[in-house]
Amino acid sequence: MINIVWAIVFVLVAPLIGGLIAGIDRKITAHMQGRVGPSIFQSFWDVGKLFEKENAVVNETQHYYAICYVVFMAFTGALFFAGGNLLLVIFALTLAGIFLVLGAYSANSPYSYIGAERELLQIMAYEPMVILAAVGLYVATGSFNVNDIAASTSPVILLIPGLFLGFLYVLTIKLRKSPFDISTSHHAHQEIVKGVTTEFSGPSLAWIEISHWYETVFLLGFVYLFFGFNPLLGVIAVVVVYLLEIFIDNTNARVTWQLAVKSSWLIAAVVGFVNLAALYILFGGHV
Amino acid sequence: MTYLAKSPWIIHYDASSCNGCDIEVLASLTPMYDVERFGIINTGNPKHADIFVVTGSINEQNREVVKNIYDQMPHPNVVVAVGICACSGGVFRECYNVAGGIDKVIPVDVYVPGCACRPESIIDGIVTALGILEGKRTKMVLDADKKEHHRHAGLHPEHIPKSGGAQ
């Protein structure tokens, strides 16, 4: 049932794809702002540079947490692309996120602390919607296994459009894009220095960046599941969704954490529950 | 060429500058000059930065701040003094509260003169700093290798001779 080859392919290839996506992201962002922008390979050079720097850790456990973050993020994606259980994938994703928070808490720095607290609030904000999306995929396809969902001929997006919209909303949080880049962001300046990554430097920061590449590829894979019945449509949807995220990132100011949490719960409660309730009323829970 | 030269991240600190040079530093980030096309990012976090760009002179208020920021930057790193005040104290060097240029507190690698200096000369100064950054990286690797070699030979770390400047 679980395809080990896909897991290995993900672990080896996902950083290359994720880094390239990050580079293209920066290029498009620069063009949107009327700039030339860096090379699309800039993200790889950044990470290469970070590995050349001194690893100035503030305590013994900090680097270990950064490594755990990348290991569990790679595990999350590997389990997903191997066709594993979607609920287990989401639990592994949360565990990876918690290691980043622990790493930030392990340093005795107010900026790092506030970043860690905001990261926890972000986890609180997106988690209900992500789980509801998994439940929606189960109702629409009859399985929690990723390979069954991807192979299903059921027109998933037509059955759970509300859950898809809700997932898009929290995707902005997960990709650390404005308006929800409250714990840390890829943009230069913000009010809490660099949030969760403030106290990480050199190789530790490089591992966090690589985890983010893994995460991007995994999340885009999740978007694909909504269109799994037509692979071509799925790939187009993934590209359109990412371009939309870049557009949102460049046209929105950062919101407060209160608004981020309230609005994502509201979206999850309204479109998520209404969509699921409609499915039960129309089909009695068996599509 | 190492990756260091392709991705120099900057931290910019205004040490009692009149803001003239600061505006020129920010002008380098605008679409007109767009330093991000060289991979240069203004980080705002000393722990992520490779190049410390300081404008303005040293006084008793910011002496500790400049030293603190410099100490937090992981090696290899370079310091670029932007503007004549950062280089020597400029017209303020005789003032009762001004100690002088940035090199009174921390070692400066590149001096960029001008009042206010043009974005072109700031970019030129950063590019010069990249060469020095690579030299420091080479020296850091050599020192680490030597330390490892002597450790195997059973020498005490304090007795290891430092390698000369490899610029």
> Which tens digit of pLDDT belongs to each residue from B68-86?
999 999 988 999 999 999 9
Mutation site, B14, B22, B36, B147, interface A, largest A CB count within 10 A: B36
Cis peptide before A179 (omega within 30 of 0): yes
Q: Return the SS3 of B120.
A: helix
Distance CA B29, CA B40 (A): 9
Can you read off the two tokens belonging to residue A271? 């479109």
pLDDT of residue A76: 94
- pLDDT score recorded for residue B162: 61
Neighbours of B14 (CB within 10 A): 16
Q: Do the chains contact at B3 and A48, CB–CB below 8 Å?
A: yes
Distance CA A203, CA A211 (A): 12
Using CA atoms, how far apart are residues A211 and A184, in angstroms rounded to an integer? 14
Q: Which of A49, A55, A114 should we substitute to test contact with B (largest number of B Cβ atoms within 10 Å)?
A: A49
Q: How confident is the model at residue A1 (pLDDT cuts 50, 70, 90)?
A: low
A287's tokens? 């599509």
What is the rounded CA–CA span in Å between residue A129 and residue A270?
11
β-strands B9-14, B41-42: how paired? parallel
Query: Which residues, at least 6 apart from A64, have a Cβ–Cβ distance to it below 8 Å?
Result: none
Tokens representing A33 are 């702002």
For chains A and B, count residue pairs whose Cβ atoms are closer than 8 Å: 80
Question: Do you find a cis peptide bond into A107, omega within 30 degrees of 0?
Answer: no
Q: Answer yes or no: is pLDDT of B166 > 60.
A: no
**To the nearest whole number, what is the mean pLDDT of chain B?**
86
Comparing A117-126, A165-174, A190-199, B139-148, the range with the smallest average pLDDT is: A190-199
pLDDT at A277 over 70: yes
Average confidence (pLDDT) over A68-80 = 94
Determine whether the interchain pair B45/A193 forms a contact, defined as Cβ–Cβ distance below 8 Å.
yes
Beta-bridge partners for A89: none
**Chain A residues whose beta carbon lies within 8 Å of the beta carbon of residue B34:** 30, 35-37
**Inter-residue long-range contacts of A260-264, CB under 8 Å, 24+ positions, other chains counted:** A260/A121, A260/A122, A260/A125, A260/A173, A260/A179, A260/A180, A260/A182, A261/A121, A261/A124, A261/A125, A263/A169, A264/A125, A264/A126, A264/A128, A264/A129, A264/A169, A264/A170, A264/A173
Mean pLDDT of A254-283: 88
Q: Which among B31, B36, B44 has the least Cβ separation from residue A34? A: B31
Q: Which of B34, B39, B74 sits opposite A201 (nearest CB)?
A: B74
Gap between the Cα atoms of B120 and B159, Å rounded: 45
The percent of residues in chain A predicted with pLDDT above 90, rounded, is 54
Cα torsion B126, B131, B137, B140: sign: negative
Q: Give the tens place of pLDDT for each residue, A101-158.
A: 999 999 888 889 998 999 999 999 999 999 999 999 998 888 899 988 888 888 888 8
Q: Is the pLDDT of residue B158 over 80?
A: no
d(CA A52, CA A75): 26
> Looking at the predicted structure, is the pLDDT value of residue B103 above 70?
yes
- ipTM reported for the complex surpasses 0.85: no
pTM for the full predicted model: 0.89
Q: Round to whole Å and give the CA distance between A184 and A115.
A: 7
Cβ contact B163:B140 at 8 Å: no
- Cβ proximity of A186 and A250 under 8 Å: no
pLDDT of B3 > 60? The answer is yes
pLDDT-derived band at B167, boundaries 50, 70, 90: very low
Model pLDDT, residue B111:
94
Question: Is A253 touching B (CB cutoff 8 A)?
Answer: no
Q: Which of B14, B30, B45, B138 to mutate to test the interface with A (most CBs of A within 10 A)?
A: B45
Give the separation between CA A44 and CA A22, rounded to whole angstroms: 9
pLDDT score recorded for residue B17: 85
Q: Is A184 on the interface with B (CB under 8 A)?
A: no
- CA–CA dist B4, B160 (Å, integer): 27
Q: Which amino acid is at B17?
A: S
